[in-house]
Chains A and B, each alone.
Chain A
Amino acid sequence: MDKMMKRTFSTLFALILIAASVSNVEAQQSDYDTIQDFRAEYQQLLESVERAASTDELNEIAASIDALESDYRGYADLINAAIYPDTYSSRIATLRSWHADAVEHYRSIEELNERVDELRSEVESFQADLAEMDARAVELRREIEESQANERRLSGLVREYRENLEARDEFVTDFLEDLLKRYEVLDAATADELAEAAERLEDNPVDLVKTILGEYINFTNEATGLNAYDYLRMSTQHAYFNDVWQRIGERLTQVFDADPVQSHQEVTDLLANWNAAIDNRIWGALDSAFAQNDISLDNFTDAGTFFNSLTSYIRAQTETAIDRNSEEDLEQYRNFSRFWNQTVKGEWGEYLMNGNILTYEQMSQIDSQLEEWNEAAVPVSNLMLILFLISVAVIIGLVVALVRKK
């Protein structure tokens, strides 16, 4: 600030000197002094342009350039002769060019400052909103724990808790989308300028990303009353977060952190911790969801074993249906098919795919296996056999009747 004021004062002083000497031009009687004055004022203006610390100062300098041009226009021939091969016009043009460059430079700095101010305001606002949501989520979790006896109240609290988490996810997604839009395509020069300006930010976007990830880990570890659907949604959110980080993480840390390598690693570690926290909950929740629908899967602890459990369950049920071919098998098939189509594919499908738990191909493969199970489970009908036997009996009867008639 002192430096800026000092610059401002020195520029003003230079401009006053120029104004004073320009006013003496008319009274000047020595051509030599006129040339010297022009040279000095030109040099002072160049230095003023270089020292200018704001567009306001540059506006004052522009007026001084106009004054210089106007005051010495009558001496153009004299100046041209004295400063050959340079000319009066080329000197004025040089001043204007330097001035235009400086104006452009300060305009971009001021725009950058506005962007940083805007970013600071957004970060602060985001932090405040997030803190409010976090506080409400903690409160809801506490209330859920305290209301275990009252099922109706508990159900309402869990629903509100779930809605709070969903709103938080949407809020974070918007933030990440915004980051993507701003920093995915960022040219090197802007990144450098932004990095310089970003030093003034107390909390930069990378810090915010770390805070958000820390909160996600806490929420996942301490979550209460959530089911498979909630954890699948978390898994999707994690996959999206991870994708965004892969795309802009390096650029963000380079712009906003003094030690980008370490900062990048910290975020990567937090993402891994969050994934581990989700892993701790999601497989148990999925197993419970299947079990609640009378589907007993083999143990699974990751996406691969989950898919294997599903396929081996269907394969086993299909073999049983082939061997036994009973109504019970058909009912078992219908139960699984309903849960698979309505809940797993209908409600969880998007999250299963976005959360990298089941791929589209894996789900199609399970659909194909289900068709085989369906064929095996439908009991085989005896009607054709009965009709065949009746036909044979009729034919035999007719043959016997004909023989007797003869």
Chain B
Amino acid sequence: MVKNYITTLFISAALMLSVAACGPSLVITDVNYTQPVESVVSPDADNVINDRRYAISFSITSILEEENIASTDEVRLIRNRSGYYFVTAAGFNHIYVFKPASGELELENKIELTTDGLGQPALNQRGDHIEVVDRATGQTYRVTEEGRS
């Protein structure tokens, strides 16, 4: 009796889970988020950058703290094909890779490029990777969301 009762209960639970799993679901694949040219934006007094062309705005305060830098004149950012944001600036030792989420950017990777600080960094879209150029030294780096390649 108890056995039948438990069996009925399991079947009902399985049915309920099956019905829930049949709700609306749509996934688009092979989305290309490539930003062809980097954005160069100046932070405001609150260290907020606003890229009007690609419509993104966020504070760089936490990044500056990571780099132990009080302020910077320009921040350079670019988005790769997968949709990750790559952010760096003059004087940074790293390039920061962020994954966009609902109302936030989650740090995916913090890639060290130098220990002396980048002189005049620039970010170039190169298809399967992002090219970081330090125009002050001529040094170039290849990076992806996973690290230096």
B-facing mask of A32-53, CB < 8 A → 1, else 0? 1101000000000000000000
Residues on B with C-beta less than 8 A from A31 are 36-38, 122, 124-125
Alpha-carbon separation in the docked complex, A29 to B136 (Å)? 11
Residues on B with C-beta less than 8 A from A81 are 36-37
Contact B36 A33 (CB under 8 A): no
Q: Which of A75-114 contact B (CB under 8 A)?
A: 78, 81-82
Q: Within 8 Å of chain A (Cβ to Cβ): is B140?
A: yes
Residues on B with C-beta less than 8 A from A78 are 36-37
Contact (A82, B133) CB under 8 Å given A30-B122, A31-B124: no
Secondary structure call for the B interface: strand
Residues on A with C-beta less than 8 A from B38 are 30-32
Interface residue tally on A, bucketed by range: under 10
Identity of the chain A residue whose Cβ is nearest the Cβ of B36 in the assembled complex: A81
Q: Within 8 Å of chain A (Cβ to Cβ): is B40?
A: yes
Alpha-carbon separation in the docked complex, A31 to B36 (Å)? 9
Contact B37 A29 (CB under 8 A): no
Q: Which of B36, B123, B135, B140 contacts A82 (CB 8 A)?
A: B36
Residues on A with C-beta less than 8 A from B76 are 32
Contact A29 B122 (CB under 8 A): yes
Task: Give min CB distance, B45 to chain A, whole Å.
Answer: 24
Q: How many A-B residue pairs have CB under 8 A?
A: 33
Contact A30 B36 (CB under 8 A): no
Identity of the chain A residue whose Cβ is nearest the Cβ of B121 in the assembled complex: A30
Identity of the chain A residue whose Cβ is nearest the Cβ of B35 in the assembled complex: A81
Alpha-carbon separation in the docked complex, A168 to B40 (Å)? 79
- Beyond known contacts A32-B76, A82-B36: 8 more, CB 8 A cutoff: A29-B133, A29-B135, A29-B140, A30-B124, A32-B37, A32-B40, A78-B37, A82-B37
Residues on A with C-beta less than 8 A from B36 are 31, 78, 81-82
Identity of the chain B residue whose Cβ is nearest the Cβ of A28 in the assembled complex: B135
Q: Which of A7-62 contact B (CB under 8 A)?
A: 29-33, 35
Residues on B with C-beta less than 8 A from A33 are 122, 135
Alpha-carbon separation in the docked complex, A35 to B125 (Å)? 13
Residues on A with C-beta less than 8 A from B123 are 32
Residues on A with C-beta less than 8 A from B122 are 29-33
Identity of the chain B residue whose Cβ is nearest the Cβ of A35 in the assembled complex: B37
Alpha-carbon separation in the docked complex, A82 to B133 (Å)? 19
Task: Give min CB distance, A257 to chain B, whole Å.
Answer: 56
Task: Give min CB distance, A217 to chain B, whole Å.
Answer: 77
Task: Give min CB distance, A21 to chain B, whole Å.
Answer: 15
Q: Which of B25-42 contact A (CB under 8 A)?
A: 36-38, 40
Could you list 27 A-B pairs, sorted by A, with CB under 8 Å? A29-B122, A29-B133, A29-B138, A29-B140, A30-B38, A30-B122, A30-B124, A30-B133, A30-B135, A31-B36, A31-B37, A31-B38, A31-B122, A31-B124, A31-B125, A32-B37, A32-B38, A32-B76, A32-B122, A32-B124, A33-B122, A33-B135, A35-B37, A78-B36, A78-B37, A81-B36, A81-B37
Residues on B with C-beta less than 8 A from A35 are 37
Identity of the chain B residue whose Cβ is nearest the Cβ of A79 in the assembled complex: B37
Which of B37, B76, B123, B125 gathers the greatest number of chain A CB atoms within 10 Å?
B37
Task: Give min CB distance, A82 to chain B, whole Å.
Answer: 4
Alpha-carbon separation in the docked complex, A29 to B140 (Å)? 9
Alpha-carbon separation in the docked complex, A78 to B124 (Å)? 10
